[in-house]
Every structure is written in C-alpha cells, then in structure tokens.
Structure 1
C-alpha cells in the first residue's frame, strides 16, 4: 500500500469547502491473490510478486490503461491528501468491470485512506460497475501469462468464445465474474451509497424528501437495497442507487445513477447500454421528478447543489456532433453518448446548474442554455487511466460561485514496475511476427503524462484511424505532409486540386510562391514540411481529449502551424467532384471548433449569471 508518510499528513489544512472528483479510475488489482493455483499471473522478478496484469497490446487497443492506473489512483489520492481535501467523489467506472477481485481491492484502498487521513468518499455507478444489473459470468482474454504471452481468465466456461489465445491454457476464477448492484453495495456501500453518521443529510429517490425531519437511523433503514427498485417491465424491476447527500453545511451533492439496462435475449441477464442520459431520461423518468424537488428545496434552503453522474448532461464535442456524424458516420466517435439538446434542456429546466461527469475520458467544459434561459454547466473530468490523466477540484467559497481547478498527474510512483514484463511481451510479439505490434518507445516514458501520451498516439495509429476513419480519405491524408496540404488548400481551382492529389507535383516555382505566401501569414515552411498527416490526425485527438490541457503538451510552434493549416482548409469551397476536399473541410471545421473552446483547466462558474470565466 502506497500511503503518505505520517509526517506528510500533518500540518495540512483541512478544507471542507473543496471537493475532489476522480473519474474513471478503472481500478484493477494488479497483485490479486485469486486463490487459484492455475492462475497466479506473471512473476515479476523486480519484487518477487506475481502480477495480475493485462498485456500491453490489450492496453494499446483500449481507450484506457488497465495496469498503471492502479499506481495513478494512489498518486492522485496522495495529492488530494496533501491539499487538505477531505471530500472525494468517484463518478463511476471506479473498477475495471465490477469484478469481485477489483471491488474488494477498491474497498481496501478507500478504507485505508479513510482511516489514515479522514477522507470521505462518495461514489456513483458507471457502465463498468456494474456491467450487468445482477452478477453474471465474465472474464478477460488477454491477461499476461508466463513468457509475456496472453492468457484467458474467465469465471466459467459459459463465457468462453472462439479464437482464444492458444499459447497458454484457459484459467478460471469466480473473482473475474461481473458483479451486480448487490456486489457493489456489499463492498462499497459505505462510500456514499448508504448514509453515514458524518453526513448532515442523506436521501434517495424512493423516500419522501424531508430535510427538517431527517433521522440517521431511519435513513439507514430506508436505504436498504430492497427499498430502491423501480419497474422496468410488468414483471421485472431494477435498482437505482441515486442519492442526495450534504457532507458539510451548505453543499448538496446529487449522485445520479444513470445506468440503463436491457434484457439479453434468451437469458435473465440485464446488460448495461453505456449510453447515459439519452436513455435515462425516459427509462428512469422517476429521477427527473425527484431532481426537480431537490432543486426547489436547495434554493429554498440556500444550498449549493451540484449533481454528479458517470454520464455527461451536455454535448462534449464543442458543437460538432452534427458535423462528426456527417463526416464519419453516426456510429463513430461515441456519438450515441453525447446528450441531445432535448436532454440537456430537461435537466437544465429541472434546476441543475452544475453537473460533473466522467465516462468519455476527456477534459472539457460544456455550457447549455435552454429556451427559457436556464443554464447548465457540464464539467467533464478526465480519466486517471488515459490521456490526459487528471482530476478536478471544486471549491465552494464565494456565494453563487464555484472555482474549478484541474490537477494533472505528472510523476507517478511505480508506473514503470511492469516495463520489464512488457519487454518480454514485445519480444514474444516480434517472434510471432505480429503485424499490429506496438511501438516499444512507450517504455522509454519517464513520467505518467508522457506514458499516457504515448498510449494515445498508439491508440490513434492502431485503432482509431483503421476503425473510425473512411479508408480512402484516411489513406490520402496519411500520404500528405503539411506543406503539401497547405499548397493544395491554397489552389483556387478544384481541377487543380484534384490534379495535385493525383501527381503530387510541387515544382520549384510553386514552392517559391507558397513560401512567400506562408511567410506573409507568419508560418514556417519547414514546420509544415515536417508535419505528417498522421501527426495532424494525432493532434486532433489530443485536442479532442485534452482541450486546454493538450495545448500545454504540444509544441507551441507546431500547434500554431496545425491550427493555421486547418483554418485555411476550413475556408475552402470544394467542387462537386471533390470528395476528399469535402471531407477535409468538415474535418478542419471540427478541428478548429475543438481548438477554440470554453475554459476547461482553471475556471470560475458563476451560478447566477450562467457564465464560465477563465482563471488564467
């Protein structure tokens, strides 16, 4: 356990007007004892332990890390302690997939930090916890086994599939099954899902809202899972673990369980949709009525109400949802998860002014104002398991104002603990002549920020471009550098643009004229020439995921060059037969929209005016 030294915990100011939000921790117990001889994990000679980790290949193809985030979570909690913060919210996906081994590990960590430093944790559910409403078979097919080879670990044979790794035998453990609501409550109920004597007030949607008559013992009795079900069909009902808590005087935290589950045909299993409020508004209609009551009560009593959920309440693509759908298709860029305007309207008009969310693994601030003038600010918290690794702190100081600060994880102790094991895996993949092998330079990262940056670059190269981008247009863009794109974009005639894409002729006269034009625009020719199409696409994903944080991480000159290039392309008027030009104009408009966004690093939310002010 990586706790602070005792002397570091003393002398810290206890600030009960600050709340830390740590989203999408996705905790996996990397040193789990499964009590099974057939699967111990892989032996780590650095510390003499068996590591229960996933392969680097599995991480590279995922939107999140599975292993190093274990250490990042500890680091973030130590940082929270060092700042004197006592209240910590985990808005969903606090575990890998709600498995018993990981829920138990999270319980241990939260309990230790609670006991050692007085931290008070408030959790809400995510699409990964629980994956299914009740416990069900589960497993992963890419744990790392001896020799760096992939090994399947499943709860039972019903979870097996075709095309499993054949290097090592399948291992079994009930600790890798999907836990359900009951399992989450059994391990983590004390962290917000049930009332605590330390709370000034706690309630849930299925009891009368009675602030004056609040009684802890009565609340504890009413909080039993059996009292928190709603009907989903004439024969079935499911839990809703939403709750309202007042941890300290004046602050109301509203945890909304927006998970929506549907029956799996031919089974009694209800599986999560991962969509969020686009479905929750209709499938959990009882919540909106409850939220309206809470908002009225909060205003009446002078409480500052902040809702939190795993899922966002405002679109997170900087107004580009329609353009993304037109350019890449409706099933790309997780557009189903982006709240529709009607959804944002419903919750804004219900009285929510500030909502904190995770789920998307991005840093962003969204502002939505309904037709009747109600403004909702959605604070999107990045994941600790992906780029950019960070958490947010909300400070409730001035009346009607909330300060939001983003704290980045740079140094993470233990993050390189498994690097020798990944080297072993890489050697195995080379021997197998794996065509989708990851680049080994990720293991040269000296900071967690650098490590997650490498992860995103490989994710873009190996997964996002092949799966999300139209093959022909992606191939064309990847074959061009920035200088060629600039020349192409400055051509006035669509026939000339098409001809250039065919023969790529950039003669000395053209190059001289282009250089002159670029010099007038303040752009270095060499900067464009050194920018590949892949780097341009990668820069797009960095700004999409990191927003203001990404601008700090990218080379200032190169970033300015990329923005200038995309602004130039966005102004093009393509001809009828210019499919690539139409695609690039759309892409450039999306790129530039995401490059000019609402403050998302350090900023102030004015609840009365409904505005966000940059504090830099």
Structure 2
C-alpha cells in the first residue's frame, strides 16, 4: 500500500501529465474585482474556550464563561501575544466588513498551534462573519500544522489560574499525563492537529471548492478535457489526492532521478507528504493563489515503518521558501503555470503563503549578522538570494507573506526582467498590529494599504485577571517567580496600540536584549540615553575601559564584559576622561545645533525607549517611525550621521572585548553599525500605503506624510 501511494505521488509530481483548465484569452475585466484583506499571523487562542476537563476549566468570569488564557509573563516574553489578539482579530474583521471587504486571506498561523480548542474557536468566528457575507481563504503556517501529523504529547505550561499561578495543560499522550502527574491537567483539547484533521475542519475556508467559485484547483488537478467541474474539483480536493513524495535530500517522484544524479548518490528517507495549496477564482477575474509553504523534511529519526511519527520530520519554521525550491519542485512548476495563465487570461493574481520570499530586513541581514549574536533576529529564516531568484522566475507579480510578524516591502528584478514584489503583512498579535488591503487599480497597478489596529474594543477585558498574577509574583519569594515579575504599568494602557507598544518594550527588556545583543552592546544600550550616545560618538580619548573604575560618574559603562588585555605603553591617567568628555560634549552640541536641535533634549531618548524603538522598527518599519514622531526621528537622524567615517577597530582578548580598548572605540565601532541598520530599516521600501507599478517595475509611496530616516 505504501509503495503504491509513493508511486502515485511520483506520477502526480510531473505537471506535464496534468491538464489545467484551458480558457481562451480574455479582454481585461471591465468591472474591477474586489479588494482583498490579508490578515497574517492571527495566532488565535480561544480565550473563552472549553478544556473539556473536570480538573481545570479556566478562570470563572461574571458572565458564566471561563477564561482559558496564558499568563502575562508568557506574553511579555513571546514574539506574539496569546490573549488580546482574540479581540484584535474581531476588530480587524469588523473594520474590514465596514469597509465593504468581503474576501479575507489568512496566510498561515491563523491559530497558535492548531489545537482543537483553538481551531474550533476560530471556525466559530469565521462562520459568524461568513453569515455576514464574508469569505475566507486560508493557507497553512508552521503553527497550523506544527507537525504534518497529530501530536498527542503537546501542551502548554503557562495557563493562568484565578490565584495568579501557572497551570500546565497537556494532551493525554504526554508523559506527565501517562504518569498521572496530579499537577498537570490532561485533555486532548491541547493536542496539536496535523493536516488531515485541519483540512477537514477548515474545508469551508478555501481548502475545498465552493459552488460559487468560478475556478478551484490544486497542483494535482486534472480536469476532464481541461474543463473546470465543481464535482470533479470536490473529488480531486480530497487530501489523499494532494500528496507528493519528499526525501531528506530533495524532491522525490519524477524529480528524484535528476536530483540523485546531481547529488551523486541515492535519495533516502522518502515518504508521501501533503500539499494543501490551491488556486481559487471566487469572483470573475480575481485569482487567489494560496501556497502551502510548509516543508517537513524527513530527518535522521524517520522510520519508514512508522512514517507518521512526527519525530521523523524537521519543523517547517526555518525551512520556508529555501526548502520549497528544493523539496517541492512540483509546486514551483505549478506556480509558474498559474502565473503564465493568469497573465494570458488577464486575471488579477494575488499569491500568498506563510513565508517571506526575499530579505525581510530591508536588505540589512548581512549587517545584522555581523554585529549581533549568532542566530539573532532569526536571520536563518531569511531566504537565500537564489531562492528569491527562483520565485521571481515563476513570473509571479506579487506575493503576500507573514511568519516574521513584520510590516515591510521588498522587490527584485531578475536577470530576465521579471519584476517581483514581496509584501510582508504584520501580525495582529504584536506591536504594529495591522492588516493589508490589496486591490488592482488596473491591469498593471496594485494598491496596498495598511490598516493599523490602534483601537480595539474590549482589549483590556482580561486585565483584572492579570492583576492576580502580578500580586502573586510580587508576594512570592520563590526564585523562579522573582525572574517573572513584570511592570504593572502595562495594565494602565488605554488602547491596543499603547498596549502593544508597551508590550514590545517589555519583550525587549525581558528577552531580546539577552538573546540578541552581545554583552558590551547590551550594557551600552541599556545604560546610555540619546544625549550620552551622541557625546560618545564624538569622544576621542586614550582612557581605556579598564580605567573606567577610576573615573566614576562620567559615562555609565564598565569593563565587566571585557577580558584583561595587555596594557600598552604611553597611556594617560583616568582623570583625563573628564576633559575629553567635555570636548566631546561641545562637538555633540554643535551637531545638534546644526540640525536645529538641543543636545539636552536627546536625553529624552532613554535606554528603554532606544532599544524598544530599535526592535519596534525591526518589526513595524514605517509604522514605528510614525509612532516615534518627527522630533525623535530627527534626533535619530543626527545620531546616524554622527559617527566617525572609519571607526577604530575593536581590540579583542580571545573571544571577548579587550579592556584595553579606549572608552569610545567599542561603542563607535559597534553602534555605527547599529544605527546604520536602524536607518536601513526605517528607510526601506514604502510599507504603509503604496502602489506597485508592474509595467514600470517600481514601488511608490502613496503616503506623502510618511516619515523616513533618509
């Protein structure tokens, strides 16, 4: 049976055997197809769900419901919210509906981890808005599914109790549940569903055809005589007919022989895998291409005798389009065919998947790798240049991606003149929460608008429950609890925009600064205000880091991150730092005055504001500058231009900074790069409201009031 299935998968990989619907070229559509809202990375958690457990039902509310929520600490140390995004999702749907939008695409991670409690909850909401005339089109993400097959051992450690404590809730297959651990709540509402259960539950939302569709197909569709048929579409939409062969080394099926020849050895660990991609024409002239960008590569634990064991596959999170190109060649060929047909038939094509197709750091990835810790900012997820070229070569005009929770835009023109734009739609569950509205103005012009979610009804509904958590942590002397204390001021925020802004400051403080920033850079970023940074950029001194202990109260830095270096001859006394600092201050005052600013006002950029701004700009791009305002943007522009053109090299003692570096050298060398990255992120392609000119091959800002670091 397994061999037969793999054989079938192999033949289905060959698109030359498939007969896509043949439609004669049509004139441009006279009535413009509707706009489409793209809501990525909703990460829906059912905050009023049902654990179906007698052990723990959540926190009782006055209206009789139970709140099944995660702790505030869990949120403040995660790159996504778990609870308030429930209300943000409803707000986004209400806003889109009020704007007359009836087609909504969700490019993956629409749930947090595809648990029944969350999938059933989002299905209820989608059906509610479906009844109002909206249609939804989903593409899978690395959280839905987390694994290709069911995970019966999954769970979470940090649901909130009424006492403000953490509660572990696991699926019944978890080892703790099998051991009858009384501290753990066991329920299969927390198991994580694979493709089969997900597609069955979500079939109404694009994964299967609708009678109202003009066209619906998959990479494996073969319609009789090339003519679309709803009944055939239903039959061919069954998941067992949407499989391909994947191997550890690359694409299987009809692509295997060529791959093995190139590799010089046989492929291994080959198995059947699902591909839930589809193309739908919900109204005449509009093509939505939902791409399943998940690639679950068989790993060393793969057992052909037990091919559904999830431990036999690598997760899809870091694979993205890099692995789509190498391990889903059938999909790349189909995308190319769809793009060509869309152009020939004058269709308005909008492609979307969960994953970015090109550099999502405004081409700053190389600089970020050079200055921050290895692996910082998840740069492993940035697609290779060759991957971007391969996607551009398919002829797709534009693609909407998610995954990174970023707001951004990038484009490329390949060697053959193919112009391709990647639009990163931000998550609803982070700072910069927003959704995109995409529409064709004419055959060659696409308009993209970003709708920020600043005001969300009921966003503070759960705040009283967090107060119990705060009180518990403040009263606990347990070492594990001391490290989980958070700033209660977040409960005083007055809007969702203010709440997510504060959340990102805390996320930066509690996680990013340790995880991403090297020791000496973290110390500088967490202790220097904007005034001190501008002065340090001008500091010329021979006083070393090792001497700072003998010159207290001048600059809030130490040699604690440095290793002892060899003391050079010709040094100066530590007391010289005072005079050198005064000279640097005078130069900094002149730089500020030249820009029409005052040096003392730079002190308003506190360390907390600075590193929060940096991370907010990484995620929200242009939207972050709008929140900074013109004054702070102007101050940052002065700092960006203040550093020496060629800073002195940093001396090392082994793998650490040497304490014999002059005080200003490490800062000037490293933070010149940091501010260069910040400038690049804040001066990227337009990302709030812009147009894509497919004929002129350019992206243009449609917002004359947009701020930039240029």
TM-score between both structures, scaled by the size of structure 1 = 0.92
Q: Does residue 593 in structure 1 map to residue 610 in structure 2?
A: no
Q: Aligned equivalents of 1:390 and 1:245: distance in 2?
A: 25
Cα deviations across residues 168-195 of structure 1 (Å, max 9, x unaligned)?
A: 9210110110100011112101100111
Q: CA deviation at 1:521?
A: 3.0
Instruction: Please state how far the C-alpha of 1:497 moved relative to its aligned partner.
Output: 8.4
Q: 1:210 offset after TM fit, Å?
A: 8.0
Change (3 A) 1:266 1:245: closer
Which of 542, 547, 556 is equivalent to 1:495?
542
Paired position in structure 1 for 2:692: 605
Of 332, 337, 346, which residue of structure 1 is paired with 2:390? 346
Aligned CA distance change for structure 1 residues 273 and 506 (closer, same or farther; 3 Å): farther
CA displacement at 1:483 relative to structure 2: 1.8
Q: CA RMSD in A?
A: 2.2
Measured in 2, the distance between the counterparts of 1:450 and 1:552 equals 13
Aligned mates of 2:412, 2:165 — CA distance in 1: 48
**Equivalent residue number for residue 109 of structure 1:** 125
| Aligned pairs (5 A) from 1:357-368 | 357-368=401-412
Partner of 2:277 in structure 1? 242
Shift of 1:572: 4.6
Assess if the C-alpha contact under 8 Å between 1:136 and 1:178 holds in 2: yes
Alignment of 1:269-308 (within 5 A): 269=310, 270-275=313-318, 276-308=320-352
Assess, with a 3 A threshold, how the Cα gap between structure 1 residues 334 and 518 changes in structure 2: closer, same or farther. Answer: same
1:144 lines up with 2:160 in the alignment: yes
SS of the equivalent of 1:350 reads coil
Give the superposition deviation at 1:298: 1.2
Out of 260, 265, 287, the residue aligned to residue 295 of structure 2 is 260
226, 232, 240: which is aligned to 1:226? Answer: 240
**Alignment partner, residue 3 of structure 1:** none
Counterparts of 2:463 and 2:289, CA distance in 1: 40
Aligned counterpart for 1:183 among listed residues 190, 193, 197 = 197
Correspondence for 1:396 among 440, 451, 465 = 440
SS in 1 for 2:103: strand
Size of the alignment, in residue pairs? 595
Q: Unaligned 5+ residue runs, structure 1? A: 1-13
Residue aligned with 1:262, SS: coil
Number of the residue aligned with 1:80: 96
- Deviation per residue, 1:428-482 (Å, 9 max, x gap): 1111241341111111111111111111110000000011111122113322222
1:156 Cα deviation from its structure 2 partner: 2.2
Shift of 1:513: 5.0
Secondary structure of 1:466's partner?
helix
Q: 1:574 aligns with which of 648, 651, 663?
A: 648
Q: What does 1:18-167 correspond to in 2, within 5 Å?
A: 18-45=35-62, 47-115=63-131, 117-137=132-152, 138-156=154-172, 158=174, 160=176
- In 2, are the aligned partners of 1:570 and 1:589 still within 8 Å (CA)? no
Contact 1:125 1:259 in 2 (8 A): yes
What secondary structure is seen at the aligned counterpart in 2 of 1:461? helix
Shift of residue 490 of structure 1? 1.9
SS at match of 1:402: strand
Deviation at 1:515, TM superposition (A): 2.3
Distance 1:519 1:200, change over 3 A: same
2:496 equivalent to 1:448 = yes
After TM superposition, give the deviation of residue 229 of structure 1 in Å.
0.7
Q: Is the 8 A contact 1:570 1:588 kept in 2?
A: no
User: Is 2:223–2:232's contact at 8 Å kept on the other side of the alignment?
Assistant: no
Instruction: Indicate yes or no: 2:395 matched with 1:321.
Output: no
Deviation at 1:582, TM superposition (A): 2.5
Instruction: Show CA shifts across 1:342-386 (max 9, x none).
Output: 111001011111000111111101112222221211111011111
- In structure 2, the CA distance between the partners of 1:295 and 1:562, relative to structure 1 (3 Å rule), is same
Q: Using the TM superposition, give the Cα deviation of residue 280 of structure 1 relative to its aligned residue in structure 2, in angstroms.
A: 1.5
Shift of 1:501: 6.8
1:16/1:85 contact within 8 Å kept:
no
8 Å CA contact 1:406, 1:601 repeated in 2: yes
Cα distance in 2 for residues equivalent to 1:15 and 1:385: 32
Deviates more, 1:95-104 or 1:265-274: 265-274
Tell me how far 1:296 sits from its aligned partner: 1.4
Please say if residues 567 and 592 of structure 1, whose CA atoms lie closer than 8 Å, have aligned partners that are also in contact: no
Structure 2, unaligned stretches of length 5 or more?
Answer: 1-30, 248-268, 304-308, 556-576, 652-664, 704-710
When residues 514 and 589 of structure 1 are mapped into structure 2, their CA distance, relative to the original with a 3 A threshold, is closer
**SS of the counterpart of 1:396?**
strand
Indicate whether 1:461 and 2:517 are aligned: no
Residue 353 to residue 149, structure 1, CA distance change in 2 (3 Å): same
Taking the aligned partners of 1:567 and 1:283, their CA distance within structure 2 comes to: 45
- Map Cα deviations across residues 269-312 of structure 1 (whole Å, 9 max, x no partner): 13523021011211111111111111111111111222100001
